[in-house]
Homo-oligomer: A and B are copies of this chain.
Amino acid sequence: MTLKELATRLDISTATVSNAFNRPDQLSTALRDRILREAKTLGYSGPDATARSLRTGRSRIVAVVLAESLTYSLNDAVASELLSGIAEVLDAHGRTLLLVSGRQHANRIPDSASMADGFIIYGLLPNRKMLADLPSRRPFVAIDYDLEGCPTVHVNNEQASYAIACHALAHLPQRPAVISLRLTKHPCNGRISAEQELLAASQTITHCRLQGFQRAFERYAIDPASVPMWNIEENTFAVCMPVIEEILDLPEGQRPTLLLCMSDRIALTALTLAEQRGLRVPDDLCITGFDGIAEGQYRAPRLTTVRQDSLAKGRLAASMILGKEPMTTTWLETELILGATCPPSA
């Protein structure tokens, strides 16, 4: 059943039927009611979305392009929270959320993504050119990474890392270590050697976090070069585990006593493995995270970390896409969370 058929049955024009659904003010109430009633009877549930979309040029769909795989993103607490924020705003405005991965098997964004009215790009795509096929006229908003010609929602990673490292380093004396996330140019799941090339700050937010840590080292008169660093390739339990085991299994005198982790997932894995080894946190080992995910706060001991408000990030990005907020690059605040894995010094 199409609008045209319905019009024929009612012996009126398609324009009037269309108006009955879209512009109540364009026809009499009586006629409109009759049309709507008849539509229901005949099983016509309103204008076809695709046809309407072709005609009006708007689909009421907003796409989120994720730099990581959908599987990773959906299972990552930070990405999930971000998506929640986006979904919440889209929902409230009758928009629908299309999830697209930038790591498609074909390394190309599926055509169907281009139906969206706007695009939110989360993370650093493996290949910028993927975006070229997307309709450039429509609004784009980036999250976490600058994308030329479009506003970005940022968190001040350097400042947040500086803050938490300063908090942690106030305990003296300690042997700090850094556990970073995708910081090396070439894949490395383990200790970072001195000659290893690192990604630039423009290529990964974890470099910004590193800079914050290093500024804190300097403030506390610690030579940044003396602080051992380990790198983790994927922010999941399974991938974190072997690297952290390697660290915790170091002989007592060499084992770090403070782990500055670049994500809560890393920190929580360290916490679990430390507990399994009978290490006391924070007495034997202090641990700090980054992100402020729920899992770190609803457990004992509570994780000391810095919270980035991913929900707010998502809400803001979605609001910008919908034109409810100005399209301008914005830096969101972070908040230090003083948990028990690295308590304030006495």
Contact = CB atoms under 8 A, between A and B. Distances in A.
A2 B75 CA distance: 39
A174 B342 CA distance: 38
A113 B96 contact: yes
Interface stretch (A44-52, A161-169, A211-219): A44-52
Nearest to A105: B92
A24 B96 CA distance: 34
A336 B241 CA distance: 24
B80 A75 contact: yes
A83 interface: yes
A293 B59 CA distance: 36
A71 B114 CA distance: 25
A111 B60 contact: yes
Nearest to A61: B112
Most buried by B among A115, A241, A276: A115
Given A49-B112, A80-B80, 12 more contacts: A49-B115, A59-B115, A60-B111, A70-B83, A70-B91, A71-B88, A75-B80, A87-B101, A91-B101, A97-B98, A98-B98, A272-B298
The 4 closest A-B pairs by CB, nearest first: A70-B87, A237-B298, A275-B300, A71-B84
